[in-house]
Amino acid sequence: MEEALTRATVPKLLVANWKLNPQIEAEAVRLARASDAKNIVIAPPFPFLVAVGKALKRATLGAQDVFWKLHGAYTGGVSPLMLRALGVRYVIVGHSERRALGETDTMVNKKARAALRAGLAPILCVGEPLAVRRKGLAAAKRFVAHQLRADLRGVSPSSVISHQSLVVAYEPLWAIGTGRAATPADAAEMAEFIKGLLVKSYKLKVSVLYGGSVNVRNAGAFLAEPAIDGALVGGASLQAAEFRKMISINQRS
Ligand code: PGA
């Protein structure tokens, strides 16, 4: 771990995706206080956004999903403007766990565009399934390129106001929640590929995060890759002590 501690050089973005955790608000506030640091985004479940937002002094508030309509008969919907009004700055869109429930690229595209229009920074998740990865990194790149083209259709550079306002998270499906992360070298190659593609096809300069089984042991190696601008962390972000160590890895320069 010492080695990992010395390898990260610039503070990058660590996004804590709590998913459907924790169960009660008091626990969410406790975890938020323990994770409150610069260059951190905390994405709690919707019901805890207000309490977590109040608890944070340095970290930025994120949401895990958003609907694309602003009002109307959409039971269960939460609009980007509602999130903005709560102080949310980033919103995860197209996470594979939502895609697995039936979310299509068309829906992800609507969410990303609605988020940008409302002044939220989408964290667009893309990544290939295991069957594709087994065919090699070139096949994985083709899969990711196809997702990006579909998910970013109609997104113009002018709608992406600054470098920070669109983030792509490369999250290979086989690495999420499995304890089997991609290698930092493969993740960096994919990050370069994504950046190159978006500059070429959309004139968009984006930050690219890696996500999928990032933990205290491997975080330093991912963050040390110049092409990787940070990490999207699920399980390890719920372990306060482990996440604090990841924060200090990120802050060491
Ligand atoms: P994990 O999840 O860190 O638990 O693999 C990452 C994610 O789903 O964003």
Average pLDDT over residues 155-161: 77
CATH number at residue 96: 3.20.20.70
3-state secondary structure (DSSP) of residue 208: strand
C-alpha 134, offset from chain centre: 24
Residues in CB range of 245: below 8 A, 6 or more apart: 1, 216
Name residue 225's amino acid. Answer: E
Find out whether the beta carbon of 214 lies less than 6 Å from any atom of ligand 1.
Answer: yes
Instruction: Note the helical H segments in 169-238.
Output: 184-202, 219-223
With the C-alpha atoms ordered 125, 193, 213, 134, is the resulting torsion angle positive or negative?
Answer: positive
Give the Å distance between the CA of 127 and the centre of ligand 1.
12
Testing ligand 1's pocket by substitution, the residue of 176, 180, 238 carrying the most ligand atoms inside 8 A of its CB is 176
- Model pLDDT, residue 184: 98
| pLDDT per position as a tens digit, 41-72 | 999 999 999 999 999 999 999 999 999 999 99
Nearest residue by C-alpha to atom 3 in ligand 1: 234
Considering only CA atoms, give the Rg of the chain: 17
- Check residue 42 and report its DSSP letter: E
**Domain span holding position 49:** 2-252
Please give the model's pTM, rounded to 2 decimal places: 0.94
| pLDDT per position as a tens digit, 113-154 | 999 999 999 999 999 999 999 999 999 999 999 999 999 998
For the cut 70, the answer to whether the pLDDT of residue 239 exceeds it is yes
Number of domains composing the chain = 1
Residues in CB range of 24: below 8 A, 6 or more apart: none
- Distance, in Å, from the CA atom of 123 to the CA atom of 131, rounded to the nearest integer, reads 25
